[in-house]
Amino acid sequence: MFNTRVTQLLGIQYPIIQGGMAWVATHELAAAVSEAGGLGIIAAGNAPGDFVRNEIRALKKKTDKPFGVNIMLLSPFVEDVVDIVCQEGVPVVTTGAGNPGKYLDRFREKGIKVIPVVPSVALAKRLEKQGVDAFIVEGTEAGGHIGELTTMALVPQVCDAVDLPVIAAGGIADGRGFIAALALGAEGVQVGTRFVCSTEAKVHSSYKDALINAKDRDAIVTGRTTGHPVRVIKNQFTREFLEMEKNGASVEELEAAGAGKLRLAVVDGDIDNGSVMSGQIAGMIKDIKSCRDIIEGMVQEALTSNERINQLSGGGLDG
């Protein structure tokens, strides 16, 4: 059941990809996920090229397993990061916040697999024609920057529209979500928020506590008026930000208010005044585990869920 086109494409044991979360997805986390059989991802975010190079080299000292780098295409350092990814022999690139088309030839020359994050059928169809290798189809349940369609609605529509492997993202934290994504037609899952609460994530303990203590309705959306909505845990910062939006603050004013707030939460641990990005599944997280325990737990729970489907219907996902 777990031997899919995604595991074959990436050379990994389980079709579980770690999300490329800025300030969270460091080499420590990525290496741990890769060692546990998934695909670890280093987040380039808005970091300069030299920082990304150092992260790649540090990861290689911890694991010889496949890994990837997430490139945010709106980063001011994107050209440098693309150069470094090509120079350092990174096997997989995931992309967000744009179309990676202009870089595809360079990635192909280096044998790099390219998997863009897509929030719509239209973008998936366009990128398939441009020659990407797979898609991460992300629903609005995800943390951080989000689209509008839910994972359950978006994933099967993209699966029906393209021939490439689809990796479902947004609202997946355990084996039940894993098996549900496979049932929707995906051949793998991307997991973000659950990995924040791992022992290997170099995140301030207060940030992890905020996720563990979150309830089902605590992950809200800010920034809709800017055209770049973000899902975060509600706190003093979100109350002030939403009030600014309500009072008609300009995009520039809102961007200035949000500048540096993710780092404030992740690194400094200020969970009242920082941006605590999180998916809607935060209410499901009750503990901090190693990446290996998280992945193996997801796999075992997916198998158990499939057995239950077999009992109820006379045949699970594998017949």
119-177 pLDDT, tens digit each:
889 989 999 998 899 999 999 999 888 888 999 999 999 999 999 999 999 999 999 99
Has residue 269 been placed in a domain? yes
Q: Could you give the number of structural domains in the chain?
A: 2
pTM: 0.90
298 in a domain, yes or no? no
pLDDT of residue 74: 86
Provide the pLDDT for residue 284.
94
Q: Residue 165, CB half-sphere, CA atoms under 13 Å: how many?
A: 20
**Domain residues for 232?**
205-281
Q: Do 97 and 162 fall into the same domain?
A: yes
157 in the same domain as 276? no
List own/partner pairs for 52-58 with CB under 8 A and 24 or more apart. 52/81, 52/84, 52/85, 53/84, 53/87, 53/88, 55/26, 55/27, 56/27, 56/84, 56/85, 56/88, 56/90, 57/88, 58/27
Q: How many Å is the maximal CA-CA distance in the chain?
A: 57
Q: Average the pLDDT over 198-206 and give the result.
A: 95
Q: Within this chain, do residues 104 and 250 fall inside the same structural domain, yes or no?
A: no
Domain boundary among 202, 226, 244: 202
Residue after which a domain boundary falls, among 178, 202, 226: 202
Within a domain: residue 18? Answer: yes
Same domain, 258 and 125: no
Q: Using one digit for the tens of pLDDT, what is the confidence trace for 259-289?
A: 999 999 999 999 999 999 999 999 999 999 9
Tell me: do 179 and 214 sit in the same domain.
no
Please report whether residue 62 resides in a domain. Answer: yes
- Mean per-residue pLDDT for 304-308? 77
- pLDDT-derived band at 316, boundaries 50, 70, 90: low
Mean pLDDT on 76-84: 92
Give domain status of residue 291, yes or no.
no
- 61 exposure class (CB count in 10 Å sphere: 0-12, 13-18, 19+): exposed
- The CA dihedral of 232, 140, 253, 276, to the nearest 10 degrees, is 10
